[in-house]
Amino acid sequence: RIALETACLDVVGPPAHLPALLCASRPIYNALARSHDLFARIFRAKFDVSAPRRRFGPIALLSRNLAKQLTLYCIALKHIRAGDIYAPTLEHDLWTAYLMLSESDGKNYVHLVEYARLPDFVNRLVRARLHEDLTVAGWPTESTVKNLAVWLLWMVTDVLVFTPSSSLATMRAETREDREEFVRLLLPFVICCFHHTARTRSTPTAQP
Q: Kindly report, residue by residue over 6-61, the tens digit of the pLDDT.
A: 888 888 999 988 888 888 889 888 888 888 999 999 999 999 999 888 888 888 88
Count Cα neighbours of 86 within 13 Å in the Cβ-side half-sphere: 3
Q: Quick check: 207 pLDDT over 70?
A: no
Which of 107-111, 126-130, 151-155, 180-184 is predicted with the least confidence, judged by mean pLDDT?
180-184
Task: Report whether 72 contacts 79 (CB < 8 A).
Answer: no
- Taking residue 143's Cβ as centre, other Cβ atoms within 10 Å add up to 15
pTM of structure:
0.80
pLDDT given at position 192: 61
What's the mean pLDDT in 63-78? 95
Choose between 168 and 76: higher pLDDT: 76
Report pLDDT digits (tens) over 117-170: 999 999 999 989 888 877 776 677 788 999 899 899 888 876 554 454 555 555
pLDDT number for residue 195: 52
The mean pLDDT value for 191-208 works out to 51
Q: Comparing 107 with 8, which gets the higher pLDDT? A: 107
Which has the higher per-residue pLDDT, 160 or 105? 105
For residue 118, give every residue at least 6 positions away whose Cβ sits within 8 Å of its Cβ, in sequence order, or none. 80, 97, 112, 152, 156
Q: What dihedral angle (degrees, nearest 10) is formed by the CA atoms of 174, 176, 179, 181?
A: -120
Given a cut of 60, whether residue 202 has pLDDT beyond it is no
Span 62-91, average pLDDT: 96
pLDDT at 194 over 60: no
Residue 140 is given by DSSP the state B
Q: Look at residue 198 and tell me whether its pLDDT is greater than 50.
A: no
* DSSP label at residue 115: I
